[in-house]
Amino acid sequence: MYGAGMAVIRASVLEVDRERPLSAARVVSEELPEPGPGQVRLDVEAFGLSSNNVSYALLGDTLGHWRPFPAAAGWGRVPAWGLARVTGGDPALVPAGARLVGYLPMATRFLLTGAPAPAGIEVTAPERDGMLPMYRRMRRIDTDPAWDERHAGVELQLLPLAPLAALLSRDLLEQEPSQVVVSSASSKTGLVLGRLLRAGNVRTVGLTGAARTAEVTRTGAFDEVLAYDRTTSVRGTGGTVYVDISGDPAITRAVHEHLGPALIRSVAVGGSHLPGTGTGAGPGGSAGPPGPAPVRFSVGRRETELLAELGGATLDRLLAEARATLVGWAATWMSLRTTDGLDAARADWRRVAHGGPPGLGAVVVRP
C-alpha cells in the first residue's frame, strides 16, 4: 500500500443540509484512508465559490451533483471548481507535487481514483459513472505553459464558465446572427459569453438591472448594455438570437414579444433559479413566449457531441483559445475576495446562496 506507516491524515469538509441547502451548513472532520493503486491524495489549495455552486446544490438530485462526494444521510457535499496538489498516492497515476484543477469537494483534502490522461487524470470512481466528461477530468497546470499564477483566482472562476461560453458562442456564431441579446449580463456567465461573441464580430446587447448597467458597460463585454425596463430599445434587427441566463420568464416573454419575427432562436442557459425544462412551456404548463421555443443549452452534452465530431485535439484547442481570450480580460474587472478556512467559508456560502457577491465580484476559498 502506498505511503504505509504514515500518520493518520484527516480532512475537513463543508457540507449542507440537503433539505435546506441555502441556509444550513456545517464543517465535519473525517479520517482519510491511505491511497491505494490508482489513487492519489490531493490537498486543496483553493476553490471558487459562486452561484454556480448554488445551482449544484439546488439541482443536486436532478443532475447527480450529490453523488461524486458522498456524505452522511441528509447532508450533501456541494462540488466546487478548484486547485489541488498531489501529496501522496500512486506515482503511476500522477507524481507527488503535481497541481491539478477541476471538479472537487469543498474540503481541505480528498482521495481521487482515476487513470492517467493526456492532460492529467480521468476520474474513474464509480460515483462519477455516467457524468459528463467535464466533471471527470482533472487538468495538470504545473505542466501547462499558459497557466499564470497571478490570475489563479480568475482561472478558478472561469473553469466551469469558459467551456460553456466557448461552445455556445461557437454554435451561435456558426448561425451568423445579426445580433445576440443576453439577459443577466452582469453575471459572469453573461459577461464571458458576451466577450467571446463580440470577439467573433457579432453585435451583442446585454440586459441587466438598472443599477448594474454602468459596471457591465465598463467590462467591454457588449456593444450595448440596457436595463431590463428598456428592453423595447433593443434593435428589431432580423436574425437576432436571444440567450436567457436570468431564468426569468417575464424577461424572456418581453424580449420575444418586442423582437417578434426578428427573433430566429432562443437559448436557455443556467440553473440557479430552478428553471423549467426549456420546452417553451410556462409555469403550470401555460403557453410559452411567442416566437421560437426556448431550447436549453447543456455544455456537457454539447462537449460530448463535439468530442465525437471534432476529436479531442480540436476540442482542446477550441477551449484553450477561449481561455486565452478570457483570462487576462476578466482579470481587469473581476473583484476577488479571499476567504481562509472552511469555517469562514460557511458564512460566504450563505451570502452567495442569497444573491451575493454581485456579478463582478467573486469569492476564492483557501480551505
272 pLDDT tier (thresholds 50, 70, 90): very low
Task: Tell me the range of 103-112, 115-124, 137-146, 308-317 where mean pLDDT is highest.
Answer: 103-112
9-159+334-366 and 161-301: identical CATH topology: no
Instruction: Provide the residue ranges of all domains of the chain, joining segments of one domain with +.
Output: 9-159+334-366, 161-301
Query: By CB neighbour count within 10 A (0-12 exposed, 13-18 middle, 19+ buried), where does 63 fall?
Result: middle
Read off the pTM. 0.88
State the Rg of the chain over Cα.
Answer: 21
Residue 328, pLDDT score: 94
Find the range with the poorest average confidence among 31-40, 230-239, 262-271, 353-362: 353-362
Average pLDDT of the chain is 90
C-beta of residue 220 within 8 angstroms of C-beta of residue 211: no
**pLDDT score of 172 more than 90:** yes
Of residues 17 and 359, more confidently modeled: 17
Find the range with the poorest average confidence among 191-200, 322-331, 355-364: 355-364
3.10.20.30, 3.30.70.330, 3.40.50.620, 3.90.180.10: CATH of 9-159+334-366: 3.90.180.10
Average pLDDT over residues 233-247: 95
The HSE-up count of residue 319 (CA atoms within 13 Å, CB side) is 22
Share of residues in the chain with pLDDT > 90 (%):
75
Query: By CB neighbour count within 10 A (0-12 exposed, 13-18 middle, 19+ buried), where does 309 fall?
Result: exposed
Superfamily of domain 161-301: NAD(P)-binding Rossmann-like Domain (3.40.50.720)
